[in-house]
Structure 1
Amino acid sequence: MTTRTENTVVTGLGVVAPNGLGTEEFWTATLKGISGIDRISRYDPSGYPSPLAGEVLDFNASDHLSNRMLPQTDRMTQMALAASDWALADAGVDPAAMPEFDMGVVTASASGGFEFAQNELQKLWSKGPEYVSAYQSFAWFYAVNTGQISIRHGMRGPSGVLVTDQAGGLDALAHGRRHIRKGTGLVVSGGVDASLSPWGLVSQMTTGRLTRVTDPERAYAPFDVSADGHVPGEGGALVVLESETRARERGARSYGTIAGYGATFDPAPDTGREPGLRRAVELALADAAAAPSDIDVVFADAAGVRDLDRAEAHALAAVFGPEAVPVTAPKTMTGRLYSGAASLDVATALLAMRDGIVPPTLHVPERADDCPVDLVRDTAREMTVRTALVVARGHGGFNAALVLRAPDTH
């Protein structure tokens, strides 16, 4: 039985991102500053205030799934299944060789299968109920990725789904760590989202946080004086979690340790109380037994909204000091991926540790004076990364923070 205090390590990564399919393709593009943000290509977006998105253009579901699976799965689930395959292969794990109740799945979701649901609703309205797929009963569901991954790999251990918007990717990993500490042998965790269909895009517009800028190189500029909102995207990352002892015993490579986690909820608007992000960071540092000076880099939430950017910058300055720690937001190359955003940041932070280089934040020509952060802009910064902090905020008041440590640092 795993002890409660034993380290939980990441032994496998699976990435699906607008600027790269697969971990190494994504990482190469990210270090080079190659963006996946452009005008939406799957339909004509000219009638929408927000015509831009981070689309995963090179993903062909039939390359990864059987013909039987294609008609019963939404695009997000298809990408999640591929990412789970890649993460397990990267970890050197054969699920068929493991006890089925010793493996779990914990994912995050922000929207469920929007594209699948839209297609079936269109059939209902235009043709009638007899044309609606029976798979609609579950393909839309926010827990469907967890279910389909568990079925695909025979994982019948503790599982679940977290629904906290952009913070979900961190919340899912923390929940997966909890299962590892309780004795589950392996957990596939993270988030993959895809809600760029017309219905999905309109739903996101209701937040008032999507940019109206149509130039891909100016649309998503967090911490900039011209910040106008964010660009939505699709994709994310799934990882394999194991106890450090188990990983060592089977000779697995460790990308790093999930050392600390904190989550808070913002107070009601207009109460005058401080937002909860600072407290989430402090909780994560305390859980990791880390001092602010231990953090080498912060992967920012980077809302791209002036008030939210200012609040994040002030929270980081309150913990670390103004411009005291490098801050980066590589999601400026992908858009905000909702439940997939933070787990992709975690994968990126682990790769930064592995290779000693921090990817850049693009398209921030003039950092706002009221956002006192040492932003890694335009080009990657070579530096040793032993401990990283990933922060995320979800619409509605969710805050999460995760501390990661390099494999040989405890």
Structure 2
Amino acid sequence: MSGRAVITGLGVVAPSGMSPGEHWDTVVEQRNRLRRITLFDPSPYATTVAGEVADFDVTGQVDGRLIVQTDRWTWMAFVAAAQALADAGIDPTELDPYDLSVIMASSSGGNQFGQRELQRLWSQPSRTVGAFQSIAWFYAATVGQLSIRHQAKGQSSVIVSEAAGGLDSLAHAARLIRRGSVVVIAGGLEAPLSPYALSCQQRNGWLSTHSDPQRAYLPFDEDAQGHVPGEGGAALIVEDLDHALARGATTLYGEIIGWAATHDGAHTRRGSGGSVSQYARAMRLAVDRAGLRPGDVDLFVPDALGVPSYDATEAAALREVFGTRGVPVTSYKSLVGRLYQGGSALDVVTALLSMRTGVLPPFAGLRRPRTDHGLDFVSAPRRTRPDVAMIGARGFDGFNSVLVIRRCGVETTSSGDGEANTSADNGAARQERAA
């Protein structure tokens, strides 16, 4: 095995769509998917707008027995992982079980299941909860259920670092590939929309209270006042390059070539904005480990929290690393909400699709960009094919994570007889030297 981690399959369940293609169309066409919360009555809460996965239905996709035993969050992961495996052309039953791992991120576990059972506990005379309460809302439940469903007996883990976890899961997947693993299901999904979950989220003071979906979440904008929550995310198949080529994989979306995680070393306090130096340090480490320089990065997908102090910190870190040259910056989060761990995984999908289509999508919802940030916001679609993309994410209480991906120098195309042909594009030699 080469030890090189390539992404061969994508699966998306998000407010932006139920597939990578639907998500990409939403991003490019700037369709706002935020709406007043319908999963419960949000009237008692200051935040009433969120990004919901509209009309999500697992009928026929998840066994009825599992529907009873698991939460909406896990159902989404079942669907996204199945998409990603199908997209990669991988049948888990044809793999050695010890060659398949699951590394997923989660912030809060099965909120809807927990909400229902806790209400049952405190409102009914029996004062009991269902037998599956202890596992359905447990933050590691989805990893466990996916490993059972696909008989994945390789090293598996759950990552917990709030919104940074989606990137951390992919970084850990790449580490496993370098250590000899073959295929990893990675990424993250969330379902943080229940009364109890929303109450918890409001405690940090970061949530927007604007009731207009078009104005509720405006990162880096003069009118930014916080974010709104969202559900869903993405699952990605991370695979050893040699294994992918040997089995005739038809699509190599990109290669994970660098990553880093740092911590502010201090508790998050309202109004602070976090550490510029630690976030910038994560960016530099990720670029250095990729064997590149900041000038080699063609696209940056930011955390884009929408809290003015945190946006200012992110902008300052970018200026510190990329200097006056800057780097194109784009985000779609104002269209779907902040999906926490799921959001950073979906950011990676967005960057990969940008590489594949040769389009830098516009920064959504940016009506009055803060000029003092000094960033190169993508204001309209740019026809250019990025070779290297960097994704940044930050988690509550000081987590900073950065991932660097590169467009694959080796592309495979399927011939009419089903055989995979391998060719090297003009960037292959340069990418090999960088690796």
The answer on 1:77 being equivalent to 2:74 is yes
The answer on 1:399 being equivalent to 2:400 is yes
Shift of 1:274: 4.3
Structure 1 alignment gaps of length 5 or more: none
Structure 2 alignment gaps of length 5 or more: 410-427
Amino acid at match of 1:164: S
Conservation of the 8 A alpha-carbon contact between 2:259 and 2:401 = yes
Aligned mates of 2:300, 2:126 — CA distance in 1: 50
Aligned mates of 1:38, 1:192 — CA distance in 2: 19
SS at match of 1:301: coil
Look up the match of 2:235: 238
The answer on 1:258 being equivalent to 2:280 is no
Spell out structure 1 runs of 4+ moving beyond 3 A.
Answer: 128-131, 269-275
Shift of 1:131: 5.0
Aligned mates of 2:288, 2:66 — CA distance in 1: 44
Aligned mates of 1:111, 1:370 — CA distance in 2: 35
Look up the match of 1:50: 47
Shift of 1:322: 3.9
Look up the match of 1:287: 289
Conservation of the 8 A alpha-carbon contact between 1:267 and 1:274 = no
Aligned mates of 2:53, 2:135 — CA distance in 1: 23
Conservation of the 8 A alpha-carbon contact between 2:276 and 2:316 = no
| 1:87-130: CA deviation from partner (whole Å, max 9, x where unpaired) | 00000000011111111000001101111101001111112456
| 1:251-304: CA deviation from partner (whole Å, max 9, x where unpaired) | 112100001001100132699974411000001001101111111110010010
Shift of 1:381: 2.4
Alignment of 1:141-160 (within 5 A): 141-160=138-157
Task: Rate the CA distance shift 1:206–1:91 in 2: closer, same or farther, 3 A.
Answer: same
Aligned mates of 2:202, 2:297 — CA distance in 1: 35
SS at match of 1:195: coil
Aligned mates of 1:43, 1:97 — CA distance in 2: 42
Residue identity (%):
46
Amino acid at match of 1:209: W
Conservation of the 8 A alpha-carbon contact between 2:15 and 2:336 = yes
SS at match of 1:332: helix
Query: Of residues 54, 57, 60 in structure 2, which corresponds to 1:60?
Result: 57
SS at match of 2:319: helix
Look up the match of 2:304: 302
SS at match of 1:20: coil
Query: Which has the higher mean CA deviation after the structures are superposed, 86-95 or 120-129?
Result: 120-129
Look up the match of 2:158: 161
RMSD of the alignment, in Å? Answer: 1.6
Amino acid at match of 1:391: G
Look up the match of 2:25: 28
Amino acid at match of 2:340: Y
Look up the match of 2:331: 329
Conservation of the 8 A alpha-carbon contact between 2:8 and 2:252 = yes
Shift of 1:360: 2.1
Aligned mates of 2:310, 2:282 — CA distance in 1: 16
Look up the match of 2:376: 374
SS at match of 1:21: coil
Query: Which has the higher mean CA deviation after the structures are superposed, 323-332 or 271-280?
Result: 271-280
Conservation of the 8 A alpha-carbon contact between 1:120 and 1:133 = yes
Amino acid at match of 1:66: D
Look up the match of 2:222: 225
Shift of 1:58: 2.6
SS at match of 1:264: strand
Shift of 1:382: 2.0
SS at match of 2:373: coil
Aligned mates of 2:126, 2:310 — CA distance in 1: 44
Task: Give the TM-score taking structure 1 as reference length.
Answer: 0.96
SS at match of 1:404: strand
Conservation of the 8 A alpha-carbon contact between 2:217 and 2:334 = yes
Task: Rate the CA distance shift 1:30–1:273 in 2: closer, same or farther, 3 A.
Answer: closer
| Equivalent residue pairs, number | 406
Aligned mates of 1:126, 1:273 — CA distance in 2: 44
Task: Rate the CA distance shift 1:323–1:211 in 2: closer, same or farther, 3 A.
Answer: farther
SS at match of 2:394: strand
Aligned mates of 1:164, 1:155 — CA distance in 2: 23
| 1:321-363: CA deviation from partner (whole Å, max 9, x where unpaired) | 2462110111221111011011100011001000001222222
Conservation of the 8 A alpha-carbon contact between 1:265 and 1:397 = yes
Look up the match of 2:424: none
| 1:32-80: CA deviation from partner (whole Å, max 9, x where unpaired) | 1112111111222122100000000131022411111111111110000
Query: Of residues 1, 14, 18 in structure 2, which corresponds to 1:17?
Result: 14
Alignment of 1:334-373 (within 5 A): 334-373=336-375
Look up the match of 1:106: 103
